[in-house]
Amino acid sequence: MEPYLEIWRRSGREVAVLGGEAVTIGRGQQTAVRLADDAEVSRLHAVIERVASGWSVRDLGSRNGTYVNAERILGERVLHPDDEIQVGGVRIFFRAEDVAGSMTVTRALSRAPELTRREQAVLKALCRPVAFGDMFTEPASVRQMAVALRVTETAVKYHLGNLYVKFGIADEGDRRRVRLANEAIRRGAVALSAMISGSHGPGDTEATPGEDPQHAGGR
């Protein structure tokens, strides 16, 4: 299977197969991956090129820069499976075979685990700032989720613990929330496009006022 790009816009997910020797990214009409609706993207922003070791990404003198795994690149950067390229407000994941020859996308895009209604509500609250923010926006904190869902922080932590297990997030610390949000979006447990189209802003929630997800039973 050919390597490809998994492109996450506000409108949803797209896939672009990496064929030929180079794939240009930008707002211009002649670019292979055209991001015309993002004002932060230059007309000819970056290029992904085939190199001896695989594929690389290079910034083409863009105004706002190109980032790989949240680090701004100054020259050419060789890409590794699951690397995240950030161009303007768009997140692009590089999907390719790993050293063992298996597609990493199989893990990343596997079906989401079965979730309770309360866990789904917590996930949506976690990811809502990402849906309405820019590409550097962090997921919601425990306190923010508790306020949005009108429950206790203890209840939020209880369900986060279950979600970490279900999504296989083993590491500790605040970065777990970031990894959980990424996995939930990648695996389709949360649809950012639906959140945007169905809400008026980042403060909107679907929680029942005063309902504590830890103690309320599923319906």
DSSP assignment of 93-112 equals EEE-B-TTS-BTHHHHTSPP
In this predicted structure, what is the pLDDT of residue 10? Answer: 75
The more confident residue out of 212 and 49 is: 49
| 63-94 pLDDT, tens digit each | 899 999 888 988 789 999 889 999 998 999 99
Helices 175-186 and 117-132 pack at an angle, to 10 degrees, of 100
Q: Return the DSSP state at 89.
A: T
Q: Please tell me the pTM assigned to this model.
A: 0.49
Strand partners, 77: 57
